Amino acid sequence: MKILVTGAAGFIGSHAAERLQQEGYEVAGADNFSDYYDVSLKQKNADALRKKGIEVVRIDLRDASAYENLGRDFQFILHFAGQPGISSENYFEDYFSNNVIATQLLLNFAEENQDLRHFFYISTSSVYGLEATFPETVAPKPASWYGVSKLAGEQLVLAKSRSNEMKASSLRLFSVYGPRERPEKLYTKLIACGVKDEVFPIFEGSEKHLRSFTYVGDIVDGIVKAVQKHGILDGEIINLGADEEHKTQEGIDIVEELLGKKIQLEVKPRRQGDQSRTLANIQKAQKLLDYNPKTSLKEGLRLQVEWYKENQ
C-alpha cells in the first residue's frame, strides 16, 4: 500500500511517516519547507526519513502546478501540512491559503488517484474553541484564525465523504509534544531555555491552563490504527489524545526536575484565542480503534529532554 504524507518534514508528520514505513507501507513525503521556523530543523527531519528510504519532495500545496511532481498511485493520503499556531505575527492570509486553499487543491489531486482508498485530514482540538473537552458530536466553536481555518479544511474533506466522492475522515489531535516538536512550542522552548540558562517567556495565566498533553508516539499509534481500520471510518471525526489533563505548571515542574535546575520565567500578555482547557474525549477512538495512550507526561518529557540534548 502506498501512502502520501504531506507535511512529512514537520514534527508529527515525520514521526507518522517513519512509523507507517515500519508497519510495511510504502511512504512518500511532501513538504514546502516553510520558513515559519528554522528550515534546517525540517531538513534534519527530511534527512532522517531519506536515510530510511522515505523521499520527501519539496512542493507548495497551494500551487496547482506543483502536483505534477507527484505520482497518481496512492492508496492513502495523510494531510498534516498546514499553517500552525496562533501567533499574532501570522496573517489571516497565511492560514487561509495554507489550511483551506491547499487542502482543496490536494483534494483535487486526490481525486486523480483512481486507487485511493481513504483521505485522512489531520485536524486539531483548536476547532472546539477555548475549551476542548467534548465528544466529536459537539458543534465546534473555534476562537482563533488557526482553529477557524483548520475547521474549514476539515469540512472541505468531509464534504467529499458526504457526497460519496471520496472516503475520508478527520483526526483531531490534542496538545502533542515530544522529540522534533517545533522550537517555539512550549516544551522545546522551555527545555532550550533551561539548558541555555535563558529566560522562558510565559503568557499570563497560562501556567494554570489544563492540557491533554499527548506524547507524539501515542498520537502516531492512533493514526496507524486509523489507517489500518479505514474501512469503518468513512465520514468519521475522531479525537486522538491523552484522556488525562495536567496544568502547564506541572509540565514546567517536571522539566525543571529532569534538568536539575530552576528556569527563570518572564510573564507576557495573554494571547488571544489561547485555549484554557483541553481534555481529549476519546471514547469513540477507544471503541472504533482500540486506542489507548500510555505514555506518562514525565516519561514523554524525559524522552524529549534526551532528544533535545542530543540534537541541540
Taking alpha carbons only, the member of 99, 77, 96 closest to residue 153 is 99
pLDDT in tens, 171-191: 999 999 999 999 999 999 999
- CATH, residue 161: 3.40.50.720
Q: Is residue 288 part of a domain?
A: no
3-state secondary structure the chain: CEEEEECCCCHHHHHHHHHHHHCCCEEEEEECCCCCCCHHHHHHHHHHHHHCCCCEEECCCCCHHHHHHCCCCCCEEEECCCCCCCCCCCCHHHHHHHHHHHHHHHHHHHHCCCCCCEEEEEEEHHHHCCEECCCCCCCCCCCCHHHHHHHHHHHHHHHHHHCCCCCEEEEEECCEECCCCCCCCHHHHHHHHHHHCCCEEEECCHHHCEECCEEHHHHHHHHHHHHHCHHHCCCCEEEECCCCCEEHHHHHHHHHHHHCCCCCEEEECCCCCCCCEECCCCHHHHHHHCCCCCCCHHHHHHHHHHHHHHHC
Q: Is residue 199 part of a domain?
A: yes
Q: Is residue 105 part of a domain?
A: yes
Q: Is residue 284 part of a domain?
A: no
- CATH, residue 272: 3.90.25.10
**Identity of residue 132:** A
- State the pLDDT at residue 49: 98
Q: Is residue 67 part of a domain?
A: yes
134 and 115 both lie in a single domain: yes
Are the CB atoms for 107 and 156 separated by under 8 Å? yes
61 and 194 both lie in a single domain: no
122 and 256 both lie in a single domain: no
> Count H helices, E strands: the chain?
10, 15
C-alpha 255: how far from its chain's center? Answer: 22
11 and 103 both lie in a single domain: yes
Q: pLDDT-based confidence at 7, cuts 50/70/90? A: very high
Q: Is residue 287 part of a domain?
A: no
- State the pLDDT at residue 312: 81
- Global pTM reads 0.96
**Identity of residue 41:** L
Q: Give me the active site residues, please.
A: 146
- State the pLDDT at residue 229: 98
Can you tell me the distance from the alpha carbon of 312 to that of 148, in angstroms, rounded to the nearest whole number? 34
Is the pLDDT confidence value at 192 over 90?
yes
36 and 64 both lie in a single domain: yes
184 and 111 both lie in a single domain: no
Q: Is residue 86 part of a domain?
A: yes
Average pLDDT for 242-252: 95
Looking at the structure of the chain, the number of domains it has is 2
- State the pLDDT at residue 302: 98
Mean pLDDT computed over every residue of the chain: 95
63 and 76 both lie in a single domain: yes
pLDDT in tens, 260-303: 999 999 988 887 777 889 999 999 999 999 999 999 999 999 99
71 and 150 both lie in a single domain: yes
For residue 274, give its domain range: 177-211+243-279+293-311
Q: Is residue 125 part of a domain?
A: yes
Is the pLDDT confidence value at 81 over 70?
yes
Is the pLDDT confidence value at 20 over 90?
yes
182 and 261 both lie in a single domain: yes
131 and 260 both lie in a single domain: no
264 and 162 both lie in a single domain: no
89 and 127 both lie in a single domain: yes
> Helices marked H in 23-118 — which ranges?
39-51, 92-96, 102-111
Can you tell me the distance from the alpha carbon of 37 to that of 258, in angstroms, rounded to the nearest whole number? 26
